[in-house]
Amino acid sequence: MALQTPIFLNNLTKTCWRNFQGDQLNKQLFFAVRSLHKSVTSEALGVSATEEEAMSNRLIKPSEVSDKTKIKTLKEMPGPNTISNLIEFFWKDGFSRIHEIQLEHTQKYGKIFKTRFGPQLVVSIADRDMVAHVLRAEGVTPQRGNMDSWKEYRELRGRSTGLISAEGEQWLKMRSVLRQLIMRPRDVAVFSDDVNQVVDDLIKRVCTLRTQQPDGATVVNINDLFFKYAMEGVAAILYECRLGCLETVVPKNTQDYIAALNLMFSSFKTTMYAGAIPKWLRTLIPKPWEEFCQSWDGLFKFSIVHVDKRLSEINAQLQRGEEVKGGLLTHMLVTREMSTEEIYANVTEMLLAGVDTTSFTLSWACYLLARHPHIQQQIYTEIVKNLKPGAVPTADDVPNLPLIRGLVKETLSRFFPVLPGNGRVTQDDLVVGGYLIPKGTQLALCHYSTSLEEENFADALDFQPDRWIRKDTTDRVDNFGSIPFGYGIRSCIGRRIAELEMHLALTRLIQKFHIRLSPLTPDIKAKTHGLLCPGAPIHLQFVDRELDALSSS
Ligand code: HEM
């Protein structure tokens, strides 16, 4: 998924800074804007105001770049030449190794380098402090990247943009509505019971699937199962209904949706070109654009069916004079802060963003657990200590399970950030790493590289979920070393939903099973296919802890 926010704040901040010394009005404005920015920072990173204050000291201030002669231009920036880049990507299938190329290029060209993809110039940044500088300088409506093909499809079909594809004022309006509903852990805690029902079905499905294998323990290609879990979980929250993904026979319309989603991802490369191929060439090479439109048709159709169904139920309830109660979708449909088209677009884009990301992270987390049995045992011990035997964990229990949170962070923030990089389009001229980056430049923020760097994380290659446990209030791992959910006002809106789904599922799985590698599972390398996914299927054994304890006693 190519996730693609604004710069007004940046301009405003700078203008305010320039006039800061003399003008009282601007002084107030500067602080108002900075405090808005700060609250967003704290929200996204979960850091205290004091910690954030410390971070803000690292911002590059205009005075620091006053010696204009020292500022270098993009021409002076190192990077692979266009030919070698084309060979790398098209000849050596670089698209499936984007994360590795990120590391290779960082080693070869340094922490800031440029790459050309045809007419598109991308400046890659693989340094914690430079990334922090760029993100902290962003405005109120940051932009992630070019979303023209997404917008073109929506215009063609008369559909609205959603949070991922929208920009400017329209994005800000929708973001303001949604961020009040799902951005804080306590907002999503109310979905605990819904998610737990899905976890019940996940556990049942594990038990069914393993009986189908000769050893009675193995679940083949665990990502298939987690894909269904993530889709069922996110749909339970977004659509307020169950889809039946974890049933033995998956309902036809859900199968159609999965087919549309698969088309979107399986044709990842071609759909990327859908936007890149000029319109006049589409008659000669029609397939990419046709597949792109076809998969979006399928995704929208599925959402519209579910939103309309809930809308009819609400109308019927209102006609009967009944009180309307419900979750996220009900709230959006009743309050009407967004139009129906905007609701369609947002649930469509959120479902798209929320399924593979969560399922791949769960697959990687279980793979790492299976490879590190002693760490799995530590986490199990923590669960047993904090939950009564057989108790079903809820969102309220998660703060008492720091190793479960550490497991997700260590998996996602360090080893397998499912989005190995993020994008921003500069909305003002910016000096980063000594280079002047003009307004409108596409930046690639390379957190796959920074998350594996020793200077950001001690013993970077060791799997240590406990590194994320704070020893005291002053102790924190620097979050800009790895920002798997992005940063700031345009960060992932579904973060808390994803975390809830992952924390509850992983706690229950570890509570019930020993998770072990099947002998059929080789050493799995990551490959990029839009997201950082397993390069081969992960087969895992799920052995009941109780049975295991009995047989060894
Ligand atoms: C492990 C799971 C997930 C990961 C790693 C992830 C990661 C990300 C990242 C890196 C971004 C870009 C942030 C930025 O540019 O600063 C993003 C944006 C977004 N994500 Fe997620 N995401 C996950 C799950 C979800 C879920 C479950 C949903 C919905 C329920 C969701 C919905 C979105 C949306 C709508 C955006 C665009 C936000 C905007 O532009 O305002 N994501 N996500």
Annotated domain spans of the chain: 8-178+412-481, 182-401+493-552
Give the Å distance between the CA of 72 and the centre of ligand 1: 34
pLDDT category of residue 47 using cuts at 50, 70 and 90: very low
Give the Å distance between the CA of 337 and the centre of ligand 1: 21
Is 422's C-beta closer than 6 angstroms to any atom of ligand 1? yes
pLDDT category of residue 142 using cuts at 50, 70 and 90: very high
Decide whether 8-178+412-481 matches 182-401+493-552 in CATH topology.
yes
| Binding residue positions | 492
Question: Which distant-in-sequence residues (6+ apart) come within 8 Å of 522 by Cβ?
Answer: 536
Is 420's C-beta closer than 6 angstroms to any atom of ligand 1? no
Whole-number pLDDT of residue 547: 61
pLDDT digits 0-9 by tens, 146-169: 888 899 999 999 999 999 999 999
- Indicate whether this model's pTM tops 0.85: yes
pLDDT category of residue 277 using cuts at 50, 70 and 90: low
Give the Å distance between the CA of 62 and the centre of ligand 1: 32
Q: Whose CA is nearest to atom 11 of ligand 1?
A: 492
Right CATH number for 8-178+412-481 from 3.40.50.2000, 1.10.630.10, 1.10.1040.10, 3.20.20.70? 1.10.630.10
Mutation test residue for ligand 1: of 150, 238, 408, 492, the one with most atoms within 8 Å of CB? 492
* Tokens standing for residue 20: 């800061």
User: In Å, how far from its chain's centre is CA 322?
Assistant: 38
pLDDT category of residue 39 using cuts at 50, 70 and 90: very low
Is 258's C-beta closer than 6 angstroms to any atom of ligand 1? no
Is 175's C-beta closer than 6 angstroms to any atom of ligand 1? yes
Whole-number pLDDT of residue 7: 22
Q: Whose CA is nearest to atom 35 of ligand 1?
A: 350
pLDDT category of residue 403 using cuts at 50, 70 and 90: very high
| Binding residue positions for heme | 492
pLDDT category of residue 539 using cuts at 50, 70 and 90: very high
Is 493's C-beta closer than 6 angstroms to any atom of ligand 1? yes
Number of helices and strands in the chain (H, E): 22, 11
Is 353's C-beta closer than 6 angstroms to any atom of ligand 1? yes
Whole-number pLDDT of residue 236: 95
Mean pLDDT estimate for the chain: 84
State what percent of residues in the chain have pLDDT above 70.
Answer: 82
pLDDT category of residue 57 using cuts at 50, 70 and 90: very low
d(CA 58, CA 493): 26
d(CA 459, CA 108): 22
Nearest to 544 by CA among 513, 499, 504, 507: 513
SS3 at position 451? coil
Q: Whose CA is nearest to atom 30 of ligand 1?
A: 494
What ligand 1 atom has the least distance to the C-alpha of 144?
Answer: 15
Give the Å distance between the CA of 525 and the centre of ligand 1: 24
Question: Average pLDDT in the 43-72 region?
Answer: 47
* Residues 453, 457, 459, 465, CA torsion sign: negative
d(CA 366, CA 540): 8
CB 539 within 8 A of CB 220: yes
d(CA 485, CA 422): 9
Question: Average pLDDT in the 507-525 region?
Answer: 95
d(CA 368, CA 30): 46
Is 349's C-beta closer than 6 angstroms to any atom of ligand 1? yes
* Tokens standing for residue 385: 């200590």
Nearest to 443 by CA among 88, 138, 171: 138
Angle at 393 between CA 391 and CA 394, to 5 degrees: 135
**519 has pLDDT over 70:** yes
Give the Å distance between the CA of 419 and the centre of ligand 1: 9
Give the Å distance between the CA of 63 and the centre of ligand 1: 35
Is 122's C-beta closer than 6 angstroms to any atom of ligand 1? no
SS3 at position 516? strand
**17 has pLDDT over 70:** no
Is 125's C-beta closer than 6 angstroms to any atom of ligand 1? no
The CATH-assigned architecture of domain 182-401+493-552 is Orthogonal Bundle (1.10)
Question: Average pLDDT in the 508-521 region?
Answer: 96
pLDDT category of residue 267 using cuts at 50, 70 and 90: low
Whole-number pLDDT of residue 290: 87
SS3 at position 398? helix
Q: What are the b/e assignments for 267-298, b being 16+ CB within 10 Å?
A: bbbbbbbbbbbeeeeeeeeeebbebbbebbeb
CB 150 within 8 A of CB 161: yes
Whole-number pLDDT of residue 271: 57
Give the Å distance between the CA of 497 and the centre of ligand 1: 10
**42 has pLDDT over 50:** no
Lowest mean pLDDT among 58-67, 301-310, 532-541: 58-67
pLDDT digits 0-9 by tens, 324-381: 999 999 999 999 999 999 999 999 999 989 999 999 999 999 999 999 999 999 999 9
d(CA 3, CA 164): 6
Q: What are the b/e assignments for 375-396, b being 16+ CB within 10 Å?
A: bbebbbebbeebbeeeebbbbe
Is 447's C-beta closer than 6 angstroms to any atom of ligand 1? no
Whole-number pLDDT of residue 261: 76
Report which of residues 70 and 109 the model is more confident about: 109
